[in-house]
Amino acid sequence: MFSTSTLHRLAMRAYPQAFRVRLGDDLQDTFLRRVSAARSRGVIHGVAAVSAGILDTCVSGLAERAADRRVRLRHGAQQSPSRRSLPMTWESLVSDVRLALRHIRKSPAFAAMTIATLAVGIGANSAIFSAVYAALLKPLPYAGADRLVALWSDQTKLADPSYPMSPANYDAFKRETTTLSQVGAMYSFLVNAQVARDDSAETIQVSTVSPGMFSLLGRQAMLGRGLQEGDEHNAVLSYSYWQRRFDGDRSIVGKPLPVVGAPPVTIVGVMPADFTFPYRSMLGPSGFSRAQTADAWRLLSPRTDTRMVDATGQPNRTIHYFSVIGRLKDGVSIAQATEELKSLADRRAKAFPASNEGYGVTVRPLLDQTVGKIRPALMLLTTGVGVLLLLTCINIANVLMARASGRQRDQAVRAALGASRGRLLQQSLIESVILAALGGAAAVGVVALGTSALLAIAPPDLPRVPEARLSWAVSFFIVGLSLVVGLLTGILPAISAARTKPEDSLRDSQRSSASAKQRLVRSVLIVTEVTLATFLVIGAGLLLRSFAAVLNVNPGFAVDKVLTFQISIPARYGTLDAALNFYDELRSKLSALPGVTHVGGSTRIPLGSTQVSTQLTVEGRPLRPTELPEVQMRRAVHDFFGTMRIPIVEGRVFNDSDRALGLTERIAVVNAALATQVFPNESAVGKRVQMGPNPTPDGWIRIIGVVGNVKHSSLEETPKPEIYVSHLQGPPVNPFMAIRTTGDAAALIGGVRSVLKEVNLTPPSNIHTMEDLRRESVGERRFVLWLVGAFGVVALLLAGIGVYGVISLVAAERTSEVGVRLALGASPGQVWKMLVGQAVTLGAIGVSLGAVGAFVLTPLAASMLFGVSPADPITFVGVSLLLIVIAVLAAALPARRAMKVDPATALRS
Amino acid sequence: MPYKPSDALLPLTPVAFEILLALAEENLHGYAILQAVESRLEGLLPLRTGTLYRSLARLLEADLIDEIPGGDPADERRRRYRITPHGRKVAAQEAARLEGQVTAARARRLLPARKSRP
pLDDT at B75 (0 to 100): 64
Taking CB atoms and an 8 Å limit, are A64 and B54 in contact across chains? yes
Residue B67 pLDDT greater than 90, yes or no: no
| Chain A / chain B CB contacts < 8 angstroms | 56
Taking CB atoms and an 8 Å limit, are B54 and A33 in contact across chains? no
**Rounded Cα–Cα distance for residues A96 and A429 (Å):** 10
pLDDT at B3 (0 to 100): 46
pLDDT at A644 (0 to 100): 95
Is A25 an 8 Å CB contact of chain B?
Answer: yes
Q: Which chain B residues contact residue A31 at CB under 8 A?
A: 49
- Residue A137: C-alpha distances to residues A315, A317, B3 (Å): 38, 37, 67
Tell me: the pLDDT tens digits for B14-23?
888 989 999 9
Phi first, then psi, for residue A611 (nearest 5°) are -115, 160
For residue A804, the distance in angstroms to the closest alpha carbon of chain B comes to 55
Taking CB atoms and an 8 Å limit, are B30 and A56 in contact across chains? no
Q: Which residues contact A311 (CB under 8 A, 6 or more apart)?
A: none
pLDDT at A233 (0 to 100): 92
Kindly state the average pLDDT of the residues B81-93: 90
Helix (H, G, I), strand (E, B) or coil at B13: coil
Taking CB atoms and an 8 Å limit, are A57 and B34 in contact across chains? no
Taking CB atoms and an 8 Å limit, are B77 and A25 in contact across chains? yes
**Rounded Cα–Cα distance for residues A891 and A105 (Å):** 31
For residue A42, the distance in angstroms to the closest alpha carbon of chain B comes to 19
**pTM for this predicted structure:** 0.71
CB contact at 8 A, A164 and A323:
yes
Q: Where are the alpha helices (DSSP H) in A624-723?
A: 640-644, 672-678
Helix (H) or strand (E) holding A180: strand A180-187
Taking CB atoms and an 8 Å limit, are B50 and A29 in contact across chains? no
Helix (H) or strand (E) holding A794: helix A779-813
Chain mean position to CA A320: 31
For residue A36, give the chain B residue with the closest CA: B31
Q: Report mean pLDDT in 10-residue bins for chain A, 909 residues.
A: 78 85 85 86 82 84 79 57 58 83 85 87 90 91 94 87 92 94 92 81 89 93 92 94 92 90 89 92 69 88 87 86 94 94 94 89 94 89 91 87 75 76 82 89 89 86 85 90 88 78 58 65 88 92 91 91 90 88 94 94 83 81 80 92 95 92 90 92 92 84 95 86 93 91 93 91 86 87 89 88 82 78 83 86 92 89 87 92 90 83 71
For residue A30, give the chain B residue with the closest CA: B31
Residues 62 through 81 of chain B touching chain A, CB cutoff 8 Å? 75, 77-79
Q: Which chain B residues contact residue A22 at CB under 8 A?
A: 57, 60
Q: Which chain A residues contact residue B47 at CB under 8 A?
A: none
Q: Which residues contact A29 (CB under 8 A, 6 or more apart)?
A: B29, B30, B31, B75, B77, B78
Is A80 an 8 Å CB contact of chain B?
Answer: yes
* Ramachandran region, residue B113 (left: φ > 0; alpha: ψ -120 to 50; beta: rest): beta
For residue B32, give the chain A residue with the closest CA: A30
Q: Which residues contact A362 (CB under 8 A, 6 or more apart)?
A: A150, A151, A152, A153, A154, A161, A162
**Rounded Cα–Cα distance for residues A848 and A352 (Å):** 60
List the single residue in B31, B54, B61 with the smallest CB-CB distance to A29. B31
Phi first, then psi, for residue A638 (nearest 5°) are 50, -135
CB contact at 8 A, A466 and A455:
yes
**Rounded Cα–Cα distance for residues A791 and A788 (Å):** 5
Residue A395: CA atoms inside 13 Å, Cβ hemisphere, count? 28
Evaluate the omega torsion of the peptide bond into residue A719 and state whether it is cis, within 30 degrees of 0. no
Select from A5, A30, A62 the residue whose CB has the most chain B CBs within 10 Å, as the one to mutate to test that interface.
A30
Q: Which chain B residues contact residue A27 at CB under 8 A?
A: 30, 49, 53
Taking CB atoms and an 8 Å limit, are A60 and B78 in contact across chains? no
Q: Which chain A residues contact residue B31 at CB under 8 A?
A: 29-30, 33-34
